[in-house]
Amino acid sequence: MNHRIMRLSFGGIFAVALISGTLAVLFIGATTDSMTSRNKPAVVQAASPSSTSKADGPKMEAQGAGKDNWDRLSSIAPIVSGLMIAAVGGWATLTVSRHQRASETSRTERELTVQRSSIIPPLIPYLGSDKEREKRAALLAIDAMGDPVLAAKLAEIYGGEGSASALSNIAARSSREVAVVAERSLDTLFHSLKVSIVRLIVNDLPTASGFVVAPGRVLTVAHALRAEDRVVLKLYTGEEIDATILARDGDADLALLETARQDLPALTIQASASSEKEIGALFNEDVTCIGYTGSSTEPEVRVGPVTAIGLQLADFPGDPMIETLLHTAGGFSGAPAVNSKGRVIGIVRLARMGGYSYLISADSMLKFLTRHQVTVNEAR
């Protein structure tokens, strides 16, 4: 809105307010005068009919009262007009300010659209690159330009480790609305992993999650079951298969189940991080957890950053754990947490308030599986 239009608008508003105030005063005055006129006969009747001078006295008093009312109204007329002008002026100011903000927002959006149209096309070759770091950087650049939804959709289209890493970053650091879009894209990228995730039905009750680590072998948490429990595994397809408890270690909080199904694909467990560079890489990348909630019919995805490594909780003995902000729900115990390469870096042990989830590390899992002579990470 230009300055000339604003000046004309305020001039018109001022005139309307002044006229409205004056009319309000005239209306009040007319109403008061009418009320005074209605009171005249009563005053005349009360006077003595035999004396003309006495009868004229009340009339003059009534006329004087009417004049006094007009004088009082004339004195408050500027106040009434001022209040009207202030009220209308305030409304006008708010209206103009709202229009200016809307205009500024629209202008900013147009500028961003122009920037995107000029910047995104040069990034397309990087999205199709064989170098996953370049792909990740291009997607995060699009996200930084204020279009995380577009970045998530492009990541889903181009796929790969770089896309998964960028999606994890977007999902963990964006608003919930954007995070849902990114998690759905991650769900698409990691769709092939779902067949390896199982739901534990313990004594006819859904209890926890687990995942296939080798043909006929499923890993889960020990606290979800007892040695005498009857266990059924529910697959992603809805099929249910019987399982037996092959080994259970309460200290490590890990349990190994055996099933007759040998055709279920196993997940790859990340090798132990030994160097500072490998350990630091965990902090530079968000992790994705795939498991079942209490009411879900298929595995759900949760994404969050690693916040601590080698954490020992006083009330949970055993090997140190990995702390994350995965916001897992009930039933996720035993679910695998994977990095952008789809390799398991931990298994969910417990969740606490604030969204913190604690993982048994891949190193602890490998030690447990080695003790029970389970060969993992075989070429498939």
Three-state DSSP at 2 gives coil
pLDDT of residue 44: 44
pLDDT tens figures, 77-95: 566 666 666 666 666 667 6
Residues 6 or more apart whose CB falls under 8 angstroms from that of 262 comprise: 215, 216
Residue whose entry in the numeric block shows the structure tokens 């939804």: 149
Mean pLDDT of successive 10-residue stretches along the chain, which has 380 residues: 53 60 58 54 46 51 54 60 65 67 60 55 78 82 83 82 82 83 84 91 93 96 92 93 94 94 91 60 78 83 87 83 88 92 91 90 92 80
Q: What is the structure's pLDDT at 164?
A: 82
Rounded Cα gap, residues 43 and 59, in angstroms? 8
pTM for the model: 0.63
The pLDDT assigned to 186 comes to 84
Asked if 327 and 304 touch (Cβ cutoff 8 Å), the reply is yes
